[in-house]
Amino acid sequence: MNHAPRGRPIDAVVSFSDIQAAATRIAPCAHRTPVMSSETLDALAGRKLFFKCENLQKVGAFKFRGACNAVMKLTDQQARSGVVTHSSGNHAQALALAARLRGIPAFIVMPRTSSAVKVRAVEGYGGRITLCEPNQASREGAAARLARETGATLIPPYDHPDIIAGQGTAALELLQDVPGLDAIIAPIGGGGLISGTCIAAHGVRASIRVIAAEPAGADDAARSLQSKTLLAQDSPSTIADGLLTGMSELTWSIVRAHVERVVTVSESRIVEAMRLVWERMKLIIEPSSAVALAAALSDEVRALSNLDRVGVIFSGGNVDLDKLPW
Q: What is the mean pLDDT of each run of 10 residues along the chain (326 residues)?
A: 41 87 98 98 97 97 98 96 91 96 96 84 95 87 94 94 98 97 97 97 96 96 95 89 91 95 98 97 97 98 96 94 83
Strand partners, 85: 108
Same fold, 10-62+160-323 and 63-154: yes
The domain locations on the chain are 10-62+160-323, 63-154
Say how many C-beta atoms besides its own lie within 10 A of residue 216's C-beta: 16
Report the alpha-carbon distance of residue 214 to residue 221 in Å, rounded. 8
pLDDT at residue 326 in the model = 81
Report the alpha-carbon distance of residue 104 to residue 122 in Å, rounded. 15
Report the alpha-carbon distance of residue 147 to residue 83 in Å, rounded. 8
**CB of 202 closer than 8 Å to CB of 21:** no
pLDDT at residue 12 in the model = 63
Enter the CATH code of domain 63-154.
Answer: 3.40.50.1100
pTM of the complete model:
0.93
pLDDT at residue 11 in the model = 54
pLDDT at residue 1 in the model = 35
Residue 183 phi, psi (nearest 5): -155, 160
Enter the CATH code of domain 10-62+160-323.
Answer: 3.40.50.1100
Strand partners, 154: 84
Report the alpha-carbon distance of residue 250 to residue 254 in Å, rounded. 7
Report the alpha-carbon distance of residue 62 to residue 31 in Å, rounded. 10
Q: How many helices (H) and strands (E) does the chain have?
A: 14, 10
* C-alpha torsion angle, residues 217, 218, 219, 221 (rounded to 10): -170
